[in-house]
A and B are shown apart, each in its own frame.
Chain A
Amino acid sequence: MHAVVVMILQRLALGVLTLFVVSLVIFGATELLPGDLASSLLGQSATPETVAALRRQMGLDLPAPVRYWDWLTGVLQGDFGVSLATRRPIADMLSARLGNTVFLALYAAAIAVPLSLILGVLAALWRNSIFDRVANAGALSAISFPEFFVAYILIFLLAQSGYFPSMTRLSPAMSLGDKLYVTFLPALTLTLVVTAHMMRMTRAAIINLMASPYIEMARLKGLSPLRIVLRHALPNALAPIINVIALNLAYLITGVVVVEVVFVYPGLGQLMVDSVSKRDIAVVQAIALIFASAYVLLNLTADVLSTLTNPRLMRRK
């Protein structure tokens, strides 16, 4: 177990470094964008005087390195600061949105991961059968359509007929059942979008192993095909599958802004887009850190899990 702990610590240290670089890049990129928060808040009605006054109030007249340093020291003390635009603490703004985003990601993953594993295993088992072809074709067409198109089709079929709401309105007082009901369509859309990738990786990884001598041995022993796949092939195919699942989970957290817009889902993506267009750098930075952390942590988890599934890696000195 010692090797794994060392690996986790090393990777966490690297992760912190990654986050630092990400924050620097994001800050630099928003600096390069034309205009700033003061001018975009005032929009068409900005006059040089009011923009200057607003800049003074918000501290935007300070040089960029000074503003970055202030932000960095704040974050290191656990203080994300206040949104420049609304003066609300960023931590408050983010917590509800982050909760919504994670909820939707987990909901979609809870459907998509088992579904794609089962479909993948079955497709590998009945390779080149009708089932295999239909599952492949279905998953690939779902992924080939743009997300918003899938979403509109689902709204047309399931919302306009009154089965599910087309718009997601969440309130803290909702029961879990209600929440699952109102967020069903966005979750289903995301499921359709991510299933193909995971399913095809599962299928490919297993089929790849089916040609190995030890599988042939198992087959010669007279084991049933299902048992061969589940007991002998799948454990060895887990490493690539876990990696693909981690990648898709990260996507579910960071890349769903289109689905959020179509279903009016109050998640982090929309907040990020709003904040970028208004140049509310403090909020952009905080969200970028969350997204980067999600990638770092999920990749770390994937690496740890694939190491654990491979005894050879565990004993390496």
Chain B
Amino acid sequence: MTDRSHHTGMTRRGLLKGATALGAAGLILPASYRKAQAAPNKGGTFRIGLGHGNSTDGYDPGLWDNLYAQVFAAARHNQLIEVDADGQLIPEIAESWESPDGQTWIFRIRQGVTFHSGKNLTVEDVIASLNHHRGEDATSAIKQFFDPVQDIRADGQNVVVTLDAPNGDFAYLMSDYHLAIMPSADGRIDPSSTDGCGPYIVESYEPGVQASLNRNPDYWKSDRAHFDRVEILAILDSAARLNALMTGQVELIDQIDPATIGMLEARGVANILSIPGNAHYVFPMDARAAPFSDNNVRLALKYAIDRQQMVDTILGGHGAVSNDNPIGPANRYFYADMEPKSFDPDRARFYLREAGMDSLTVDLHVADAAFSGAVDAGALFAETAAQAGININLIREPNDGYWDNVWMQKPFVASYWGGRAVEDHMFTTGYAAGATWNDSFWSHDRFNELLVQARSEVDEDLRREMYQEMQRIVSFEGSVIIPMNNNFVMATATNVATPEQISANWNLDGFRCVERWWFA
């Protein structure tokens, strides 16, 4: 699918200094995209139709949870640090950053930036924006990432963050989409305000329907934000989204049903962008509960799944086989050469016998809320597992309330991850012992030891070795089946031009399509 090399272009020192060495990776894009590399044109109204967006969406950055909220936020806000198309950290509101020991982090705040309201951006605004996600009363979804933060204080033009232990990747946290920099009063931001220092100014917003924004004439980045106006529409029905694109009512849509991609291409009215990233679909097993407490059972299940078939049928080919590895090809320390697990019923039977069983019957709880196609994926899994003497009872759960009543409640379920740009984030969030989202309740001593060591390891090669060993442990001893990495699939009108490389960090060019793309 790609000619990407993995992202080895970054050294630890370069990261600490906020250097912007460009990696050499490139994605294969339709030919028209390659041609459209002249200087970006200005102007036009860019209309985006997204399969997300609820009447209950709000302005509070701690609660942004869907693609609509994320793109809308990227259109009006900036963060301290941006992840560029190559996955490198580049300065945004933080002009530069450094850390002498990995424990104290100093972010130098850019001067002369104004909010849409005209207010000057100050160090206090940055501190208030960060503190919104921190502390006893914080309701933010990323509150736990601030647990190691002991103190955030101003020092002239700098913001100084002190951690309770060294963490070489802390700067990456500042690129999280929740951390929008907003104006403050009395040390607090107003979470119901639209005011930001980003590329577009909100004209109107009706949650779950549409948002209209106009270009910020005082935007500090001169080479970004090419459209005059951006309109973001919530179009939940996938056929309605396709129709809107085909009849010229929008210029970009997301979440395209794999079955319709061929038809859309044949019509010649749209370009399909399929961007491989770190996002992946998973089947976590509760490692505390029999039979999953036996690693042989887990391995049997891992060999009883036909990964390639899943990629072909569930993703329509727009994805890649994963080797039970939550670290993806867009990560720095991705372990590409790990011994692959093919569909092997004999081997699955072997591990069953090792576990002292002739056959195995387990319940798998699925709903399409976990990921689109989860029910079909479960059925496919049951089909292949049957050939290895494993009987999977597929239990279809309602979408409504899936995350409350099924995920992390039942022992064997379906789920998804958006992927993380940093290995430590991914592991700390989903695989460290006792982590809140460790949805397999898995605990591995060697893994947990390595996780802490690698965080503060300065030797690049040693660090790579550690992360690769961790990937191996998760893959062969972990309690999560990860059959596939799903691509970000989107379609644009033929007059939309993009940079040659599109970010694999998140969907829609890392949510930044609004400020990075233009009309050809």
Instruction: Please give the residue numbers on chain A whose beta carbons come within 8 Å of chain B beta carbons, in ascending order.
Output: 33-35, 39-50, 53-54, 56-57, 83, 85-88, 93, 96, 152, 155, 159-160, 162, 165-167, 169, 261-264, 266, 270-271, 274-275, 277-278, 280, 283
B400: chain A residues at CB < 8 Å are 33, 277
Interface centre among A54, A160, A263, A274 (most CB of B within 10 A): A274
- A261 in contact with B237 (CB, 8 Å): yes
- B56 in contact with A83 (CB, 8 Å): yes
B404: chain A residues at CB < 8 Å are 34-35, 39-40
- A47 in contact with B436 (CB, 8 Å): yes
Q: How far is the CA of A283 from the CA of B233 in the complex (A)?
A: 22
B139: chain A residues at CB < 8 Å are 42, 50, 53-54, 57
Query: Closest CB-CB distance, B263 to chain A, in whole Å?
Result: 12
A155: chain B residues at CB < 8 Å are 243
B236: chain A residues at CB < 8 Å are 261, 264, 270
Q: Tell yes or no: B188 within 8 A of A by CB.
A: no
Q: Select one of A34, A35, A53, A261 contacting B240, CB under 8 A.
A: A261
A43: chain B residues at CB < 8 Å are 65, 403
Query: Closest CB-CB distance, A96 to chain B, in whole Å?
Result: 7
- B56 in contact with A262 (CB, 8 Å): no
Q: Select one of A45, A57, A83, A167 contacting B437, CB under 8 A.
A: A45
Can you list 22 A-B pairs with a CB-CB distance of less than 8 A?
A34-B401, A35-B401, A35-B404, A39-B403, A40-B403, A41-B63, A44-B437, A50-B138, A53-B136, A53-B138, A57-B137, A87-B58, A155-B243, A160-B243, A167-B249, A264-B233, A264-B234, A264-B237, A270-B208, A270-B236, A274-B55, A280-B56
- B56 in contact with A278 (CB, 8 Å): yes
Q: Tell yes or no: B450 within 8 A of A by CB.
A: no
- Given the interface pairs A43-B65, A53-B137, A266-B209, the reply to whether A35 lies near B405 with Cβ below 8 Å is yes
- Stretch of B140-148, B291-299, B306-314 at the chain-chain interface: B140-148
B244: chain A residues at CB < 8 Å are 166-167, 264
A264: chain B residues at CB < 8 Å are 233-237, 240, 244
Q: How many residues in B have their beta carbons less than 8 Å from beta carbons of A?
A: 45
Contact with A along B391-412 (1 / 0, CB 8 A): 0000000001101110100000
Query: Closest CB-CB distance, A294 to chain B, in whole Å?
Result: 20
Given contacts A85-B56, A96-B206, A160-B243, 10 further A-B contacts (CB under 8 A): A35-B405, A41-B63, A45-B65, A50-B139, A86-B58, A165-B247, A167-B250, A264-B237, A275-B56, A277-B54
Q: Tell yes or no: B507 within 8 A of A by CB.
A: no
Q: How far is the CA of A27 from the CA of B246 in the complex (A)?
A: 42
- B141 in contact with A275 (CB, 8 Å): no
Q: Select one of A50, A87, A263 contacting B141, CB under 8 A.
A: A50
